[in-house]
């Protein structure tokens, strides 16, 4: 699926995978995708959030704390996979 996306989207997916690992999750969910978008710091999604005066650091902190409280820890032994909701969002973007 990576070949269908721009380099920027591939970079965001790499950031999302890193965020999932940082949060010790064994999947990439929409929450990790949002963290990847925030980490990239550019693009229409970030611009829309800024236009609505959403504090990007506060959003990141909220996502971090929410994901950590509801997910089981990832021990690093299995592959990190893209969950169905994230896959659907990515397919809708092309």
pLDDT, tens digit, for every residue of 44-85?
Answer: 999 999 999 999 999 999 999 988 755 555 656 667 888 898
Domain 2-85 has CATH 1.10.1780.10: yes
pLDDT in tens, 22-48: 888 888 999 999 999 999 999 999 999
Helix axes 30-40, 84-93, angle to 10 degrees: 50
How many CB atoms sit inside 10 A of residue 90's CB? Answer: 20
Task: Identify the DSSP state of 72.
Answer: P
The residue extents of the domains of the chain are 2-85
Q: Alpha-carbon distance 68 to 23, whole Å? A: 7
The C-alpha angle with vertex 29 and arms to 24 and 32, in degrees rounded to 5, equals 65
């Amino acid at each position: 699926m990576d070949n269908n996306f721009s380099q920027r989207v591939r970079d965001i997916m790499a950031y999302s995978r890193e965020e999932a690992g940082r949060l010790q999750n064994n999947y990439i969910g929409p929450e990790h995708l949002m963290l990847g978008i925030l980490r990239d710091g550019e693009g229409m999604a970030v611009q829309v959030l800024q236009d609505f005066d959403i504090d990007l650091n506060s959003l990141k902190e909220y996502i971090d704390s929410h994901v950590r409280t509801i997910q089981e820890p990832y021990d690093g032994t299995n592959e990190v996979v893209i969950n169905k909701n994230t896959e659907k969002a990515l397919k809708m973007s092309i």
